[in-house]
């Protein structure tokens, strides 16, 4: 069964049995991931209309040829009208009555225009889409493995570039260049920080020069076949202090605890708790990571499911998630190690193959 029909069936059984149409609104990449997942179309501007009697793609002249090449959906050519006008006309022609849509992806102005032009019931179906996309096929998992291989090789090559005086921005540019040279795309905004700046979990690269004795945090990923990986590693330029070594070992133990604990059927917050306790039971408890332990990855770097204190949903087999515990001491240093894992029936399988040890240059 094709993905559009699977989604239609799922929303009818889990949300509203009267849904006859699903609309995926992709304006300037607002829902590119779901669009690609359901149709294969990778452009930045489109609206998908999914029905039992056929699937349609609305797009403009920039993408007519691309849409015909990438998808077997019926092409509706959008030109001079507003997008809401074109879509409303199509929905009227199809006699749509109950339309499922992504409430998190459709902007308020477009939603208001559609409401004004149509006499239909709109029903949010975000959860069903998240559920469908969160369970990966073997092909999807293989694409994430390929992305990880590219990212890891690029990272190892970048290590040769690092020396005292090189800036964070230069290191970031080198890593991204290596990813592209190896045939990948940048999975998300690369994070590189050094010294005391590593205590900020989402530190962005600057023109700060790295110095001997400092830590360097790398949070990076490649995208291959539209699927991305998400990896964090720490590098010490010169011999690290005793506190850094001690904290690093605790974070590594937290990562290992989550990996050996997790499996399909467990609730996300249980895995989060197992990892978090390792840090909380150490003398660095007050500096334990404040964010959720991990998140799903796939066509987007942040997807369902979640591993966090609030995550009450059971993990499904073949979901792919990150595990990224950390210790962050403001003004001194921060440490995070992040792997990608496949959720199995009896365990987590780690995709990331880079050493989990602190890298000392």
pLDDT tens profile 98-141: 999 999 999 999 999 999 999 999 999 999 999 999 999 999 99
Q: State residue 65's pLDDT score.
A: 98
β-pairing, 333-336 vs 326-329, is: antiparallel
pLDDT tens profile 144-187: 999 999 999 999 999 999 999 999 999 999 999 999 999 999 99
Q: State residue 305's pLDDT score.
A: 97
This prediction has a pTM of 0.95
Q: Please determine, for residue 273, whether its predicted confidence score (pLDDT) is greater than 90.
A: yes
Q: How far apart are the C-alpha atoms of 104 and 101, rounded to whole Å?
A: 9
Which residue carries 């467990």 as its tokens?
A: 266
- Pair 151, 124 in one domain: no
Q: State residue 39's pLDDT score.
A: 98
Average pLDDT over residues 189-205: 97
β-pairing, 359-360 vs 231-236, is: parallel
Q: State residue 81's pLDDT score.
A: 87
Q: Is 272 helix (H, G, I), strand (E, B) or coil?
A: helix
pLDDT tens profile 20-53: 999 999 999 999 999 999 999 999 999 999 999 9
**Per-chain mean pLDDT for the chain:** 97
- Pair 184, 129 in one domain: no
Would the CA dihedral through 273, 276, 278, 280 be positive or negative?
negative
- Pair 293, 347 in one domain: yes
β-pairing, 54-59 vs 74-77, is: parallel
- Pair 77, 158 in one domain: no
Domain of 144, CATH number, reads: 3.90.230.10
Q: State residue 116's pLDDT score.
A: 96
How many other C-beta atoms can be found within 10 angstroms of the C-beta atom of residue 290?
A: 8
Q: State residue 1's pLDDT score.
A: 77
Instruction: Give me the DSSP letters along 90-132.
Output: HHHHTT--EEEE-TTTS-HHHHHHHHHH---EEEE-HHHHHHH
- Pair 62, 116 in one domain: yes
Q: State residue 229's pLDDT score.
A: 98
Q: What percent of the chain has pLDDT over 70?
A: 100
Q: Which domain holds residue 47?
A: 3-134
Q: How far apart are the C-alpha atoms of 129 and 31, rounded to whole Å?
A: 11
pLDDT tens profile 239-268: 999 999 999 999 999 999 999 999 999 999
Q: Which strand (E) or helix (H) includes residue 270?
A: helix 268-280
Structural domain total, the chain: 2
Locate the DSSP E strands across the chain: 21-27, 45-51, 54-59, 74-77, 98-101, 121-124, 185-186, 191-194, 215-220, 222-224, 227-228, 231-236, 294-296, 303-307, 320-323, 326-329, 333-336, 339-343, 348-350, 359-360
- Pair 321, 179 in one domain: yes
- Pair 201, 145 in one domain: yes
Q: How far apart are the C-alpha atoms of 209 and 169, rounded to whole Å?
A: 9
- Pair 113, 156 in one domain: no
Average pLDDT over residues 4-23: 97
- Pair 103, 8 in one domain: yes
Q: Residues 6 or more apart from 34 whose CB is under 8 A from it?
A: 24, 26, 102, 105, 129, 133
Q: Please determine, for residue 210, whether its predicted confidence score (pLDDT) is greater than 90.
A: yes
- Pair 76, 125 in one domain: yes
């Amino acid at each position: 069964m094709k993905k559009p029909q699977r989604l239609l069936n799922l929303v009818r059984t889990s949300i509203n049995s009267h849904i006859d149409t699903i609309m995926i609104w992709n304006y300037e990449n607002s829902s590119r991931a779901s669009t690609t997942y359901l149709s294969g179309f990778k452009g930045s501007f489109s609206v998908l209309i999914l029905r039992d009697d056929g699937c349609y793609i609305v797009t403009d002249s920039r993408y007519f040829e691309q849409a015909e090449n990438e998808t077997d959906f019926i092409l509706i050519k959008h030109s001079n009208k507003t997008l809401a006008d074109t879509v409303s006309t199509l929905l009227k022609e199809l006699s749509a009555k109950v339309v499922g849509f992504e409430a998190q992806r459709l902007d308020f102005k477009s939603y208001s225009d559609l409401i004004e032009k149509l006499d239909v019931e709109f029903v949010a179906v975000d959860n069903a889409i998240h559920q469908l996309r969160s369970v990966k096929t073997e092909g999807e998992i293989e694409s994430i493995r390929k992305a990880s291989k590219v990212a890891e090789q690029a990272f190892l090559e970048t290590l040769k570039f690092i020396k005292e005086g090189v800036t964070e921005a230069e290191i970031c540019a080198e890593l991204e260049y290596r990813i592209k040279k190896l045939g990948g795309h940048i999975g998300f905004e690369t994070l590189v920080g050094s010294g005391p700046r590593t205590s900020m979990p989402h530190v962005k690269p600057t023109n700060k020069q790295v110095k001997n004795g400092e830590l360097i945090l790398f949070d990076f990923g490649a995208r291959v076949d539209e699927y991305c990986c998400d990896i964090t590693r720490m590098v010490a330029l010169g011999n690290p202090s005793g506190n850094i070594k001690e904290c690093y070992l605790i974070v590594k133990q937290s990562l290992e605890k989550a990996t050996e604990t997790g499996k399909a059927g467990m609730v996300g917050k249980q895995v989060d708790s197992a990892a978090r306790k390792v840090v909380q039971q150490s003398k660095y408890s007050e500096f334990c990571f404040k964010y959720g332990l991990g998140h799903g990855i796939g066509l987007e770097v942040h997807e369902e499911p979640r591993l966090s204190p609030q995550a009450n949903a059971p993990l499904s087999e073949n979901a792919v998630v990150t595990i990224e515990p950390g210790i962050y001491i403001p003004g001194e240093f921060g440490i995070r190690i992040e792997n990608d894992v496949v959720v199995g029936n009896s365990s987590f399988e780690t995709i990331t193959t880079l050493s989990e040890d602190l890298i000392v240059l």
